[in-house]
Amino acid sequence: MIPRCRMSTSTLSMLGLIALALPVIPVAVAGDIPFTTWTSPSGTLYALSPGVEGGSCSPTQSGMECVGPENRDGASASASGCGKVYGRGYCLVVPGGWTPPTVLPHSTSTLECENANYELSVEGGSCTPDNGEAMTCSDGGVNAASATCESGCGTVTGNGSCTVNPKP
């Protein structure tokens, strides 16, 4: 089987290829759903995936981007944090040695703040950052979650969620 990955991402068929000392570390999840980890210039480790089979992850001028085959799913990250996340994509701040969840989250993203990280999620929608100070995830209907660095988790409705991860 020829891997359907570009640059330094990987799929299960390439499991075992680990690039050490590179800002992008190739890893994989179940099946052919790609994901990658990326270390920002400040040293923050992100895990990104389009969350669907047939997608790909690749470096951009400002960070990393993962996109599904029909552009309905994806995630991005840059030096300023997680960017746009939509469909089944995810962008999370993770510790070293992180492994992907067995069941992939839906539109999950992390808002990085001085005292805590806020992990927001909504099924079937998208997460959009606002200048690194706020984030909103919504499906355009009743399912939503929001957070700001100033106030923490905000309104959560339907299947939306907001989890606080205090920093040491």
Query: What pLDDT shows up at residue 104?
Result: 58
What's the whole-model pTM score?
0.66
Could you read off the pLDDT of 30-49 as tens digits, one per residue? 456 788 889 999 899 999 99
Read out DSSP for 96-143? TT----SSPPSSEEEEE-SSEEEEEE-TTSEEEEETTTEEEEE-SSS-
Residue 102 pLDDT greater than 90, yes or no = no
Query: What pLDDT shows up at residue 151?
Result: 96
CA 120, CA 126: separation in Å to the nearest integer?
10
CA 144, CA 111: separation in Å to the nearest integer?
15
Residue 85 pLDDT greater than 80, yes or no = yes
Query: What pLDDT shows up at residue 16?
Result: 27
Residue 133 pLDDT greater than 50, yes or no = yes
Query: What pLDDT shows up at residue 7?
Result: 28
Under 8 Å between Cβ of 55 and 66: yes
Distances from the Cα of 100 to the Cαs of 51, 97, 134, 154, in angstroms?
11, 10, 25, 27
Query: What pLDDT shows up at residue 147?
Result: 96
Residue 22 pLDDT greater than 70, yes or no = no
Could you read off the pLDDT of 136-167 as tens digits, one per residue? 999 888 899 999 999 999 999 999 999 999 98
Task: Give 131's pLDDT tier (boundaries 50, 70, 90).
Answer: confident
Residue 122 pLDDT greater than 50, yes or no = yes
Q: What percent of the chain has pLDDT over 90?
A: 43
The mean pLDDT value for 102-116 works out to: 81
